[in-house]
Chains A and B, each alone.
Chain A
Amino acid sequence: NAGVMQNPRHLVRRRGQEARLRCSPMKGHSHVYWYRQLPEEGLKFMVYLQKENIIDESGMPKERFSAEFPKEGPSILRIQQVVRGDSAAYFCASSPKLGSQYFGPGTRLTVL
């Protein structure tokens, strides 16, 4: 059973471009969480999704950020018109139910 997969592992974008981050949860896991980690800080919750539904997006910035978890395919975190402050590591975690979350390796976004 493969772990949580994220791609790309590293992403470089110029200011104003769009960033798309993908997360494939572990097999059998229907809960997906996205977290952001700024340099030298802990992880901050962004959004929680179940298949086709956003359950909790209380940690998402109001503008430019969106997330989806379609019936088929990976979960996508989308950042439009990126700014330098978006540079961070973005982690996805999955779980089969509320409880232990298993984290992917993260996508490190650098905005030039």
Chain B
Amino acid sequence: SQQGEEDPQALSIQEGENATMNCSYKTSINNLQWYRQNSGRGLVHLILIRSNEREKHSGRLRVTLDTSKKSSSLLITASRAADTASYFCATDAWGSGNTGKLIFGQGTTLQVKP
């Protein structure tokens, strides 16, 4: 399996519900980032959480990071139809030769039904 795996692969909820996506990774990291991608479009940076942070909020987004379990979660509260998209976590590898390149998971496809 690869660094930065998300689960579930697909999630379908009703508008107003909360959506939780999880991401696991393998190596030590400097930071972990979450991105959103609408179908056929580019990536939008949502939030970055550093390895020494445990939780971060941005509007309706809440990200947690557990470095002992090498996992992160993205919570979207009070979801809207416009939140329908694919969500990716990405990590950068810590260590010598770190170039900041990101390793992406396969993504979680979220569908929010109106």
Contact = CB atoms under 8 A, between A and B. Distances in A.
Q: In the complex, which range does the number of interface residues on chain A fall in?
A: 20 to 34
Size bracket, chain B contacts = 20 to 34
A99 B104 CA distance: 15
A103 B42 contact: yes
Interface of B: 4, 30-31, 33, 35, 40-45, 48, 88, 90, 92, 97-107
B43 A42 contact: no
A99 B31 contact: yes
Contacts of B90: 43
21 contacts: A33-B102, A41-B106, A42-B4, A42-B88, A42-B107, A43-B104, A44-B104, A45-B101, A48-B99, A48-B101, A55-B99, A56-B101, A59-B101, A91-B43, A93-B102, A98-B100, A99-B31, A101-B45, A104-B42, A105-B42, A106-B42
